[in-house]
Amino acid sequence: MELIRTENVTKIYEDGAEGTPAIRGVSFSIRKGEFIAIMGPSGSGKSTLLHVLGFLDRQTSGKYWFHGKSFDEHSGAEIARVRNEKMGFVFQAFNLLPRASVLENVKLPLLYSSVPDSQWEEQARKSVDSVGLSHRMNHEAYRLSGGEKQRVAIARALVNNPEVIFADEPTGNLDSKSGAVVMDILQKLNETDKHTVILITHETYTAEHAERIIRIHDGEIASDAPVDGRHRIRGTLFK
Partner 1 sequence: MHIKYSFHTALAGITTHKSRSTLTVLGIVIGITAIIIVMSLGQGAQDLILNQVQGMGSRTVVVIPGREPKGPADSAQIFSDSLKERDLALLRNKINVPTASKVMPILFGGETGSYGGETFRLTIFGASEDIPEFFDLAPEQGIFFTAEDIRSRADVVVIGDRIREELFGSADALGQRIRVKDRNFRVIGILPKKGQVSFFNFDETAIIPYTTAQQYIFSIKYFHRFFIEADSEATIKRTVEDATQTLRNAHSITNPDKDDFFIQTQADLASRLGVITDVLTLFLVAVAAISLVVGGIGIMNIMLVSVTERTREIGLRKALGATDRDILIQFLLEAMMLTGIGGCIGIILGVSIAFGASLVLTRVIGFGWQFSFPLNATLIALGVSTGIGLVFGIYPAQQAAKKSPIEALRYE
Tell which residue, 121, 200, 199, has the closest CA to residue 159: 121
156 φ, ψ to 5°? -65, -40
Stretch that binds partner 1, among 64-72, 112-120, 179-187, 214-222 (CB under 8 A): 112-120
Q: Which of 81, 139, 202, 231 binds partner 1 (CB under 8 A)?
A: 81
Minimum CB distance to partner 1 smaller for 85 or for 211: 85
Residues 24-63 that bind partner 1 (CB under 8 A): 51, 54, 56-57
Minimum CB separation from partner 1 for residue 47, in Å?
9
Q: Is 26 exposed, middle or buried (0-12, 13-18, 19+ CB in 10 A)?
A: buried
Q: Which is nearer to partner 1, 111 or 222 (CB)?
A: 111
Are 33 and 196 in contact by the 8 Å Cβ rule? The answer is yes
N-to-C CA span, the chain:
34
**Position among 7, 111, 143, 194 found at the interface with partner 1 (CB under 8 A):** 111
Per-residue binding string, partner 1, 158-177, x by CB under 8 A, is --x-----------------
Shortest distance in whole angstroms from residue 97 CB to partner 1: 7
The burial of 231, by beta-carbon neighbours within 10 Å (0-12 exposed, 13-18 middle, 19 or more buried), is given as middle
Contact between 219 and partner 1 (CB under 8 A)?
A: no
Residue pair 102/152 in contact by the 8 Å Cβ criterion: yes
Q: Which stretch binds partner 1 (CB under 8 A): 1-9, 89-97, 201-209, 222-230?
A: 89-97
Q: How far apart are CA 9 and CA 57, in angstroms?
A: 12
Closest CA to 200 of 60, 91, 94, 62: 91
Instruction: Give the one residue of 29, 95, 119, 134 binding partner 1; rule: CB under 8 A.
Output: 95
Residues 157 and 216: their CA atoms lie apart, in Å, by: 25
Q: Applying CB under 8 A, does 100 fall inside the site for partner 1?
A: yes
User: Binding residues for partner 1, per CB under 8 A?
Assistant: 51, 54, 56-57, 76-77, 80-81, 83-85, 89, 91, 95, 97, 99-100, 108-109, 111-113, 117, 156, 160
